[in-house]
Amino acid sequence: MADWITTYRYAHRGLHDAKSDLPENSLAAFRAAATHGYGIELDVQLAACGTPVVFHDFTLDRMTGETGYVHTQTAASLSTLPLVGTGEKIPLLADLLAEIGGRVPLLIELKIAPRQRIGPLEQAVAHLLDAYHGPVAVQSFTPESVGWFAEMAPEFIRGQIAADFIRRPDRGMSWQDRLDWTKLWRSDVSQPHFVSYHVRDLPNPASRAVRRAGIPLICWTVRSEDQRALAEIHADSYIFEGFTPDPMFGNRNRAKLNL
């Protein structure tokens, strides 16, 4: 297991700032994170043409002012849309990989829409990562998406994202999914190298079991001093937003980074 997973802290969707020209999931926000030595967490989904694009929401409204679903637009069309009135555009995953070039670790979250077929997004991401040289991991809430990598591309580091969906269910989730995703009961499918759990749900039986098993636990998304204190007690590292912590969580000697 690569030790960079727990060595770095990760800027949530890049080192973005809503009051500046650094919108979330933009190349500018990713450059800022890398400049400050932070790892980067980002979101990826498929455009209509099968190209992975870096964008969190399934709809365009919040971040572009346009309407419609990301998966109905081509990458060429999406890459022309300004992000929240700035000069930044929606990046392709290939653009992000070229921009960072292995300078800092990447946590790539695969966004799986309801009823989306497992395979096309994962295969497209794996194809791009085959030619990438640098510390990178794939992660998802959806165990079957992570499990695709376990079966088809086991050379990549995998992470299972989780939260307490029993207390705070997402709309449309079945009761079984709420149990499975909260308690990590589909870990036999995802076979994760690490787990990323919501900071507001720490500690809990699932997160304690992860650490007892010696599996790295990171948490998301730390936005306050209270949450940072919680993360530093109950997790091995964290994803953050809205402040600038020391970029290195544990060992500060970058020369010892294990790629």
Confidence of residue 250 (pLDDT cuts 50, 70, 90): low
pLDDT for 2: 79
pLDDT per residue over 118-136, tens digit each? Answer: 999 999 999 999 999 999 9
**Does pLDDT of 168 surpass 90?**
no
Q: Contacts for 209-217 with beta carbons within 8 Å, 24 or more apart? A: 209/184, 210/184, 211/236, 216/1, 216/5, 216/6
Using CA atoms, how far residue 73 sits from 26, 68, 91, in Å, is: 18, 8, 14
Q: What percent of the chain has pLDDT over 90?
A: 88
Instruction: Examine the pLDDT at 252 and tell me if it is beyond 50.
Output: no
Per-residue pLDDT averaged across 236-240, rounded? 98
**What are residue 237's DSSP bridge partners?**
218
Nearest Cα to 11, choosing from 3, 21, 28?
28
Strands 52-54 and 39-46: antiparallel
Reported as a single tens digit per residue, the pLDDT across 32-79 is 999 999 999 999 999 999 999 999 999 999 999 999 999 999 999 999
Please state which architecture CATH assigns to domain 4-42+103-256.
Answer: Alpha-Beta Barrel (3.20)
- 31's CB contacts (< 8 A; 6+ apart) are 99
Largest CA distance in the chain: 47
Q: What is the pTM of this model?
A: 0.94
Burial 160-196 (b: 16+ CB within 10 A, else e): bbbbbbeeeeeeeeeeebbebbbbbebbebbbbbbbb
pLDDT, the chain, mean? 93
pLDDT at 113: 87
DSSP string, 25-70: TSHHHHHHHHHTT-EEEEEEEE-TTS-EEE-SSSBSHHHHS--SBG
236: confidence class by pLDDT, cuts 50, 70, 90: very high
Q: How confident is the model at residue 172 (pLDDT cuts 50, 70, 90)?
A: confident
In the chain, domain spans:
4-42+103-256
Residue 109 has pLDDT above 80, yes or no: yes
pLDDT value of residue 20: 82
